[in-house]
Amino acid sequence: MNWTPRVKPIKIRRLYRYARLGIYDDLLLHDVGWELYARCRDIATVADVYREGRVPCPKCRTKITRRIDPLFSKGEGGTHEHWFHCPHCAGRLLWRDCRQALRDIPRCFDCRAVLYKEVGLRCACGKTWSQEAYKQSVRTRVLLPCSHCLNLVRRPEPPAMERTVRMRKSSPALQCPKCQAVALHQHGNIECAACGYKRRWRDYRKSLKKKDEKLECSGCGYTFRWQTWRKSTRSLRTGNPRPAREFVKRWLRCRTPQQRMIQIDTLLQTLHGRGPLAPLFIDSGEHNIRQMLDDLAS
């Protein structure tokens, strides 16, 4: 399936440079806006597949329902990472920035001195770690040095959810993977009374994600494999497709260059606030994208 490529950052920079001068380049607005629209539509399409289990045909985009019970939910999800400010230097960062800084340059958690790399890791203050113990500590600690000023900062608490997302429960009657008879989900297992098949429910769910399936389009007759289609969507998958859906809905209502610029800016500011989401839309490295969005917001 031909997915829309990510937007080139040079176009976005040029668009903002003109906008600051009060110039709205219709051609550039058209290019950037519709490229973002097509990308957002693809992201929303892929998200719908994982919510509903209906796969678009790569040729004609007809929706094909998977025969395997997908056990999907209707929740939109959300990013697990949020920006916060260091209380000491007011620097803006993500929690993974603190972790990555220690992976790049290991430092002592107490005195923040650079560690000596020998067989393990050793600090001048006398503390030592093995490589694995240090990595585990970086993953699990709630106090880490700020990547800007090296003062200790606490891992931020996730913001309160505005509403509870209810998961769609799958039907208690399922098809037995062994004999195709009716199986039941009960007591944390999937059980078949016909052949005696029994498996932990959690393992069964994992197997469904990995199971391949041949899909055939009723519209054009094209056949393809589920896992092949799934691999083609790696750069489009996200647990938080809401910004993409909102842009698709609002972009079509824009009638003037000013309205189009506002919608593009709204989307980019949303991506700026959710760091891990931006690389799905913009064709560049994560560090460069973050730097560009910081420049545009200043």
pLDDT tens string 16-25: 999 888 888 8
Q: For residue 160, what pLDDT is reported?
A: 63
Contact 138, 183 (CB under 8 A): no
Sort 191 into a burial class: Cβ within 10 Å, 0-12 / 13-18 / 19+. Answer: middle
User: Is residue 270 a contact partner of residue 36, using CB atoms and an 8 Å limit?
Assistant: no
| pTM of the predicted model as reported, rounded to 2 decimal places | 0.65
| Amino acid 167: pLDDT | 47
Which H or E element spans position 15?
helix 9-20
Strands (E) across 196-266 are located at: 198-200, 214-216, 223-225
Q: Where are the beta strands (DSSP E) in 61-115?
A: 63-65, 84-85, 92-93
Mean pLDDT of 31-40: 94
Position 111 pLDDT exceeds 70: yes
User: 128 exposed, middle or buried (CB, 10 Å; 0-12, 13-18, 19+)?
Assistant: middle
CA distance 138 to 121: 13
**Per-residue confidence (pLDDT) for residue 269, from 0 to 100:** 86
The dihedral of CA 256, 259, 264, 265: what is its sign?
A: positive
